[in-house]
Structure 1
Amino acid sequence: MAEKKSGAFDIRVVIAALIGIYGLILTVLGLVGKQAEIDKAAGININLYGGIGMLVFAALFVLWARLRPIAVPVEE
């Protein structure tokens, strides 16, 4: 029986895209944030660190989906 890779319909790619979008938004907010917002979080730029973490997580999800694709059996 032949197999076909799921490609863009893999749920890991969709999850990575959503987390990546949120991570990008948080990273931008962390870069342009005001010092008053940073002071509220005990001097830690949580938006920047959280956004970078989400971008790394999304990249790992995409890497996982590319290295170990889901093979869907194709009936003839």
Structure 2
Amino acid sequence: MSTRTDASTGRHKAGAFDIRNFIGILLGLYGLILTVMGLVADKELDKTGNVNANLWAGLGLLVVSAFFLAWARLRPLVVPDHVDTEGMDQAPSH
């Protein structure tokens, strides 16, 4: 996830600093923990209506995590290298 620069347009990709990467990694981490706990921990199915809640919640989080990471990879944010600050000190004319 490196930041690449396009010299002709003066723009680059957000890369690792894209918020979708952070969301995807955190959801994936939580999903992995819940999936492992659903597989190895005491299931206590009588409390959840005979459903392994940790396992299903973990698998759901892993799917959402994969969606966020794929979205960030397939549709990267393009950021301009500089912002034109000329006239920024004036109030907007609505």
With normalisation by structure 2, the TM-score equals 0.74
- Identical counterparts, % of pairs: 54
Q: Is 2:32 the counterpart of 1:24?
A: yes
Q: Is 2:55 the counterpart of 1:9?
A: no
Instruction: Give runs of ≥4 in structure 1 deviating > 3 Å.
Output: none
1:59 is aligned to 66
After superposition, the C-alpha distances for 1:16-67 in whole angstroms (9 at most, x for unaligned) are 11111110000001001224x1221010001000000000100000000001
Of Structure 1 and Structure 2, the greater helix share is in: 1
Query: Higher relative contact order at CA 8 Å, sep ≥6: structure 1 or structure 2?
Result: 1
Q: Following the alignment from structure 2 to structure 1, what is the Cα–Cα distance between the partners of residues 45 and 68? A: 29
**Paired residues, number:** 74
Structure 2 gap segments, 5+ residues each: 1-8, 83-94
Q: Which has the larger radius of gyration?
A: 2
Alignment RMSD:
1.0
Structure 1 gap segments, 5+ residues each: none
With normalisation by structure 1, the TM-score equals 0.91
